[in-house]
């Protein structure tokens, strides 16, 4: 009996628990609709409460040194987290669970599922109510203790960049400067410099209360920049990130406009539209600061930077210090020869910090002179094969190449790699190369091609892929190495080039087969070109500045597409091969400064020639009659000092006129004549009206000048585009008539004047009628006392002058009587002018900060100045003559 009773009690317990469980669950199902409605209402009230608290927090944080309370911040974060969960509870499943209810909501088609969901809703309702009760704060922020303005970023030390750092920081402290742009080539240290600027806000006393650092990078999006800034100023909630772009901009502007902020933006490739981001534009009133880095000077312009600062490569002494630091003294002192070899290796880095650091670290473990010699050779000839260059340095620089606006501009950039290291490339030379190549072959005249070429050159300069040298450009050594690396990589795309400048022997002719462009410039070891290459795709061949003596006659037999041939500065070569007749596509031929003695009649076969340069071929004494008429498309003819042009090339003035009149498309002409009477016969000819002219009026004998020139013939000829005028080895130049000249516009286009060895010439007063003069050189005129006349008050001469060179003028007293503003003057060179005691400069003309004055130190010390202020202004400009 006892056993039966025991079993009965166990069954009762089980039934009781089941009964309680069923009736305990019933409210979660029965009240599901009611709880869902309550949860939705309560959640909306919680959101409103959070928004009210958040507004109070943002308003408080606009006050200096106020920071939100940690419990307030934790409460806001808890609400945001709960909001995210509620989306799933209410939005995702509510409709589905309501549809399962039946019997007036007292039962469910899936009782277990409805119970679980109802219980979850009830629990969340409790959590919402609990958060609402905790969301009442008497204060939301408190005064914070002084903290660091920025979190210090790790950075390489700015070795050798201290002067530019202080320059930038002085502008940061200048209340009148709001926008500062740092630009320069890749790897030059812009990011390192900006990092040092960032970290310096902790090290100096300043009244900024917010410093923001963001990396922008290529292909930036406004929303991404907004999110980065938002994170820095407390706008990083999930809800905020879902806002529209214009709403984010309003929020960012509202906060930043109440703070004195600094925005540091690294690596801009395109301008950032600050108003779309929501960043207030700095001005002298609000004292905000924006500092950014970019590889493009053009970006600085688009960003309205008030200060554009170029971050250049290091000078040699600073570059050498950085290189030694990376290599380490222990390695450099292992062998007495290593230090000298290390200088050679460091020099190949061209002062580029990225290259110096990369190469220096690689060489830190090289302990023998042989390894250092090998490194120097590899960097000089095959830099891409040096460890770290092809996989670290060049890819970083390649971003600048990839960002160029078109394939045409990229091709022009690669073209500049044909020239040797440190070669100064005349901008006009590039114009004529590109004009006669397939790069710019669509332009009808030289002026159009020149405009497009200078636009491309400007693009490469602002992208820091070329360096400006006035009328020339130069390619940095490491940039050139990168271009050659690119050309090899792009060979399959038609950019294949073969460059072996400074070679000791001609490359194997097998390498010429697929080349589009070949450059052997400055190859001192190449004396003869005896082999016959097959180059069906060759467009350009540079042999300039070599020591060539001979080219075999059939060398050009298999170059049907060759358009540019540059043989200039080969002083040992005396004749062209007759095989030049096979160059049926040739458009550009440069034989200047060669030892050519005669031109072959076969040259007439090059009927497509557009550019012919025979300047300074002093030994040229035979040219086939009517050769020029074989080139009907000729646009550029340069025969300055070409075997004395009027005597050898044209035989006499009548022949010269006939030859020139046959060149209907000529745009550019340079020539030397022994007198001015020929211009009387060319009075109305199109060449004088339409051609850009370089004219040399030259006597025959340097030692005993005997010719007399009357410039009235030149002026009356109405040479509208006379660009350059040289006067050499004549006794006197008559110009007293010029002040009475009716046509005083005769020298409007004149930009360069050079006067040499005119022994009776006393002044150049006619230059007052050359308002666009850029360069003036006057040498060896023994009786010259003044450059301009006594009275220059009615005109402003030399308004555009950039370079003035005066040498061996023993009686020169004054350049002109009155001081001149000379706003564009960059260089004055005075040598052996002992009685020139005053320059045409005063305090008001000291407007150009880049002026350099070269001369003997004794002469400089004896100069007279208008006052001490004028002397002090120009004292830093002086450089003693070497």
> What is the model's pLDDT at position 15?
35
User: Are the CB atoms for 847 and 824 separated by under 8 Å?
Assistant: no
Domain boundary among 447, 469, 493: 493
Task: Answer yes or no: is 175 within a domain.
Answer: yes
> What is the model's pLDDT at position 10?
44
Q: Is the dihedral of CA 58, 59, 61, 67 positive or negative?
A: negative
How far lies 450's CA from each of 427, 446, 619, in Å?
A: 9, 6, 31
User: Are the CB atoms for 126 and 35 separated by under 8 Å?
Assistant: no
67: its two tokens: 């920071």
Average pLDDT score over residue span 588-617: 94
Residue of 112 and 408 predicted with greater confidence: 408
> What is the model's pLDDT at position 471?
87
**SS3 string of 26-79?**
HHHHHCHHHHHHHHHHHHHHHHHHHHHHHHHHHHHHCCCCEEECHHHHHHHHHH
500 and 647 in a common domain: yes
Task: Answer yes or no: is 734 within a domain.
Answer: no
Task: Answer yes or no: is 820 within a domain.
Answer: no
The 10s digit of each residue's pLDDT in 627-637 is 888 999 999 99
Is the pLDDT reported for residue 29 higher than 80? no
Q: Residue 853 burial by CB count (10 A; 0-12/13-18/19+): exposed, middle or buried?
A: buried
Range with the largest mean pLDDT of 29-38, 516-525, 694-703:
516-525
d(Cα 773, Cα 721) in Å, to the nearest integer?
13
User: Are the CB atoms for 337 and 327 separated by under 8 Å?
Assistant: no
187 and 64 in a common domain: no
368 and 237 in a common domain: no
Range with the largest mean pLDDT of 149-158, 212-221, 434-443:
212-221
545 and 648 in a common domain: yes
Domain boundary among 655, 683, 716: 655
How far lies 487's CA from each of 361, 458, 465, 493, 604, in Å?
A: 27, 22, 15, 9, 34
Average pLDDT score over residue span 216-224: 86
d(Cα 862, Cα 864) in Å, to the nearest integer?
7
Q: Give the list of residues 6+ apart from residue 49 with CB closer than 8 angstroms, or none.
A: 132, 135
User: Are the CB atoms for 522 and 548 separated by under 8 Å?
Assistant: no
Domain boundary among 324, 347, 381: 381
d(Cα 254, Cα 273) in Å, to the nearest integer?
17
DSSP-derived pairing of the beta strands 467-468 and 472-474: antiparallel
> What pLDDT band is residue 74 in, cutting at 50, 70 and 90?
confident
Is the pLDDT reported for residue 407 higher than 80? yes
- Neighbouring CB atoms inside 10 A of 684's CB total 9
Task: Answer yes or no: is 772 within a domain.
Answer: no
503 and 485 in a common domain: no
**SS3 string of 266-315?**
EEECCCCCHHHHCCCCCCCCCCCEEEEEECCHHHHHHCCCCEEEECCCCC
> What is the model's pLDDT at position 373?
94
Average pLDDT score over residue span 514-519: 90
Q: Which residues pair with 426 in a beta bridge?
A: 472
Q: Give the list of residues 6+ apart from residue 30 with CB closer than 8 angstroms, or none.
A: 105, 106
User: Are the CB atoms for 497 and 487 separated by under 8 Å?
Assistant: yes
Task: Answer yes or no: is 11 within a domain.
Answer: no
Is the pLDDT reported for residue 5 higher than 50? no
> What is the model's pLDDT at position 70?
79
Task: Answer yes or no: is 365 within a domain.
Answer: yes
d(Cα 782, Cα 792) in Å, to the nearest integer?
23
How far lies 653's CA from each of 27, 657, 682, in Å?
A: 119, 6, 10
> What is the model's pLDDT at position 326?
93
Is the pLDDT reported for residue 120 higher than 80? no
825: its two tokens: 């003057």
Q: Which residues pair with 336 in a beta bridge?
A: none
Average pLDDT score over residue span 530-557: 90
Q: Give the list of residues 6+ apart from residue 525 with CB closer than 8 angstroms, or none.
A: 503, 504, 505, 547
222: its two tokens: 């406004």
Q: Give the list of residues 6+ apart from residue 345 with CB closer than 8 angstroms, or none.
A: 323, 359, 363, 372, 375, 376, 379
d(Cα 807, Cα 174) in Å, to the nearest integer?
44
304 and 167 in a common domain: yes
d(Cα 251, Cα 229) in Å, to the nearest integer?
11
pLDDT above 90 coverage of the chain, percent = 42
User: Are the CB atoms for 303 and 179 separated by under 8 Å?
Assistant: yes
How far is CA 739 from its chain centroid?
46
Task: Answer yes or no: is 880 within a domain.
Answer: no
515 and 537 in a common domain: yes
Average pLDDT score over residue span 314-336: 92
Of 507, 514, 512, whose CA–CA distance to 491 is shortest? Answer: 514
Residue of 476 and 730 predicted with greater confidence: 476
Of 575, 593, 532, 540, whose CA–CA distance to 557 is shortest? Answer: 532
Task: Answer yes or no: is 842 within a domain.
Answer: no
> What is the model's pLDDT at position 180?
96
Average pLDDT score over residue span 871-880: 88
The 10s digit of each residue's pLDDT in 346-397 is 999 999 999 999 999 999 999 999 999 999 999 988 888 888 898 889 998 9
> What is the model's pLDDT at position 129?
85
Of 744, 800, 797, 793, whose CA–CA distance to 775 is shortest? Answer: 800
Is the pLDDT reported for residue 644 higher than 70? no
CATH of the domain at 298: 3.40.50.300
User: Are the CB atoms for 558 and 538 separated by under 8 Å?
Assistant: no
State the helix-helix crossing angle for 407-415 and 446-462, rounded to 10 degrees.
Answer: 80
> What is the model's pLDDT at position 861?
92
77 and 170 in a common domain: no
> What pLDDT band is residue 56 in, cutting at 50, 70 and 90?
confident
Q: Give the list of residues 6+ apart from residue 735 with CB closer than 8 angstroms, or none.
A: 711, 764, 765, 766
**How many structural domains comprise the chain?**
5
Q: Residue 20 burial by CB count (10 A; 0-12/13-18/19+): exposed, middle or buried?
A: exposed
CATH of the domain at 428: 1.10.10.10
650 and 508 in a common domain: yes
> What pLDDT band is residue 20 in, cutting at 50, 70 and 90?
very low
Average pLDDT, the chain: 83
For the chain, the C-alpha Rg in angstroms (whole number) is 40
240 and 94 in a common domain: no
> What pLDDT band is residue 470 in, cutting at 50, 70 and 90?
confident
Residue 105: HSE in the Cβ half-sphere, 13 Å Cα cutoff: 10
Average pLDDT score over residue span 765-780: 90
526 and 598 in a common domain: yes
The 10s digit of each residue's pLDDT in 268-308 is 999 999 999 999 999 888 889 999 999 999 999 999 999 99
- Neighbouring CB atoms inside 10 A of 395's CB total 13
Of 584, 585, 593, whose CA–CA distance to 566 is shortest? Answer: 593
* Least trusted range by pLDDT, from 416-430, 532-546, 676-690, 718-732: 676-690
User: Are the CB atoms for 667 and 435 separated by under 8 Å?
Assistant: no
Q: Give the list of residues 6+ apart from residue 203 with CB closer than 8 angstroms, or none.
A: none
> What pLDDT band is residue 685 in, cutting at 50, 70 and 90?
low
CATH of the domain at 647: 3.80.10.10
415: its two tokens: 């073209």
d(Cα 80, Cα 693) in Å, to the nearest integer?
77
d(Cα 264, Cα 841) in Å, to the nearest integer?
42
289: its two tokens: 């600061």
305 and 191 in a common domain: yes
> What is the model's pLDDT at position 637?
93
User: Are the CB atoms for 569 and 592 separated by under 8 Å?
Assistant: yes
Strands (E), 735-841: 752-756, 775-779, 803-807, 827-831
> What is the model's pLDDT at position 64?
57
The 10s digit of each residue's pLDDT in 818-862 is 787 778 888 999 999 999 999 988 877 656 557 889 999 999 999
Q: Dmax over Cα atoms in the chain, in whole Å?
A: 157
Is the pLDDT reported for residue 492 higher than 70? no
Domain of 346 in residue numbering reads as 316-381
pLDDT above 70 coverage of the chain, percent = 82
Is the pLDDT reported for residue 192 higher than 50? yes
12: its two tokens: 């009762």
DSSP, collapsed to helix, strand or coil, labels residue 787 as coil
> What is the model's pLDDT at position 785?
93
């Amino acid at each position: 009996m006892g056993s039966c009773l025991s079993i009965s009690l166990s069954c009762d317990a089980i039934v009781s628990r089941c009964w309680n469980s069923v009736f305990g669950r019933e409210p979660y199902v029965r009240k599901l609709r009611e709880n869902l409605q309550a949860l939705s209402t309560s959640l909306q009230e919680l959101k409103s409460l959070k928004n009210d608290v958040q507004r109070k927090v943002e308003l408080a944080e606009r006050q200096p040194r106020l920071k939100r309370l940690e419990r307030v911040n934790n409460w806001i974060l808890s609400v945001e987290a709960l909001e995210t969960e509620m989306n799933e509870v209410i939005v995702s499943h509510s409709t589905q669970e309501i549809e399962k209810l039946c019997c007036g909501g007292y039962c469910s088609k899936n009782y277990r599922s409805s119970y679980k969901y109802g219980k979850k809703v009830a629990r969340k309702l409790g959590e919402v109510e609990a958060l609402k009760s905790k969301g009442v704060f008497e204060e939301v922020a408190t005064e914070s203790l002084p903290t660091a303005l920025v979190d210090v970023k790790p950075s390489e030390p700015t070795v050798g960049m201290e002067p530019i750092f202080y320059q930038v920081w002085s502008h940061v402290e200048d209340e009148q400067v709001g926008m500062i742009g740092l630009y320069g080539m890749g790897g030059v240290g812009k990011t390192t410099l900006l990092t040092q600027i960032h970290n310096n806000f902790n090290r100096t006393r300043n009244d900024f209360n917010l410093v923001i650092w963001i990396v922008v990078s290529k292909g930036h999006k406004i929303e991404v920049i907004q999110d980065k800034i938002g994170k820095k100023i407390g706008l990083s909630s999930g809800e905020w990130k879902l806002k529209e772009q214009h709403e984010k901009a309003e929020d960012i502007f509202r906060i930043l406009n109440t703070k004195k902020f600094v925005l540091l933006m690294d690596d801009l490739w395109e301008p950032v539209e600050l108003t779309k981001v929501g960043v207030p534009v700095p001005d002298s009133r609000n004292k905000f600061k924006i500092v950014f880095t970019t590889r493009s000077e053009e970006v600085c312009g688009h960003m309205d930077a008030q200060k554009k600062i170029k971050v250049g490569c290091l000078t040699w002494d600073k570059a050498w210090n950085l290189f030694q630091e990376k290599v380490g003294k222990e390695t450099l002192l292992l062998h007495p020869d290593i230090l000298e070899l290390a200088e050679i290796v460091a020099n190949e880095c061209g002062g580029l910090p990225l290259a110096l650091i990369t190469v220096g670290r690689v060489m830190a473990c090289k302990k023998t002179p042989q390894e250092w010699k090998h490194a120097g050779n590899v960097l000089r000839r095959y830099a891409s094969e040096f460890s770290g260059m092809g996989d670290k340095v060049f890819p970083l620089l390649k971003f600048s190449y990839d960002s160029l606006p078109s394939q045409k501009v990229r091709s022009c950039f690669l073209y500049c790699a044909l020239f040797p290291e440190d070669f100064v490339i005349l901008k006009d030379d590039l114009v004529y190369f590109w004009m006669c190549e397939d790069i710019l072959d669509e332009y009808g005249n030289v002026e159009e091609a020149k405009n497009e070429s200078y636009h491309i050159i400007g693009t490469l300069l602002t992208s820091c892929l070329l360096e400006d040298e006035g009328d020339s450009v130069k390619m940095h050594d490491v940039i050139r190495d990168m271009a050659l690396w690119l050309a090899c990589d792009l060979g399959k795309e038609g950019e294949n080039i073969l460059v072996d400048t400074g070679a000791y022997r001609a490359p194997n002719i097998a390498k010429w087969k697929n080349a589009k462009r070949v450059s052997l410039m400055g190859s001192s070891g190449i004396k003869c070109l005896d082999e016959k290459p097959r180059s069906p795709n060759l467009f350009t061949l540079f042999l300039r500045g070599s020591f060539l003596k001979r080219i075999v006659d059939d060398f050009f037999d298999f170059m049907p597409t060759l358009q540019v041939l540059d043989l200039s500065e080969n002083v040992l070569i005396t004749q062209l091969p007759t095989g030049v007749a096979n160059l049926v596509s040739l458009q550009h031929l440069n034989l200047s400064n060669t030892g050519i003695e005669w031109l072959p009649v076969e040259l007439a076969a090059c009927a497509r020639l557009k550019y012919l340069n025979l300047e300074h071929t002093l030994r040229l004494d035979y040219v086939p009659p009517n050769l020029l008429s074989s080139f009907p498309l000729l646009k550029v003819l340069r025969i300055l000092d070409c075997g004395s042009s009027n005597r050898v090339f044209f035989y006499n003035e009548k022949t010269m006129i006939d030859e020139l009149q046959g060149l209907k498309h000529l745009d550019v002409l340079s020539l030397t004549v022994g007198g001015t009477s020929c211009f009387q016969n060319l009075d109305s000819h199109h060449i004088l009206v339409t051609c850009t002219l370089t004219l040399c009026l030259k006597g025959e004998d340097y030692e005993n000048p005997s010719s007399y020139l009357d410039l009235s013939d030149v002026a009356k000829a109405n040479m509208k585009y006379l660009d350059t005028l040289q006067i050499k080895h004549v006794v006197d130049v008559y110009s007293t008539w010029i002040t009475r000249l009716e046509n005083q516009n005769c020298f409007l286009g004149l930009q360069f004047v050079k006067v040499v060895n005119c022994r009776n010439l006393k002044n150049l007063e006619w230059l007052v009628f050359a308002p666009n003069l850029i360069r003036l050189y006057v040498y060896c005129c023994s009786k010259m006392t003044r450059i301009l006349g006594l009275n220059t008050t009615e005109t402003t001469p030399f308004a555009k002058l950039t370079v003035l060179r005066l040498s061996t003028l023993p009686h020169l007293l004054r350049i002109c009587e009155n001081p001149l503003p000379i706003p564009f003057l960059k260089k004055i060179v005075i040598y052996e002018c002992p009685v020139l005691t005053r320059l045409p400069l005063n305090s008001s003309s000291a407007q150009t900060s880049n002026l350099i004055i070269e001369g003997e130190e004794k002469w400089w010390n004896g100069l007279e100045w208008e006052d001490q202020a004028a002397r002090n202004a120009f004292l830093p400009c002086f450089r003693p003559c070497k």
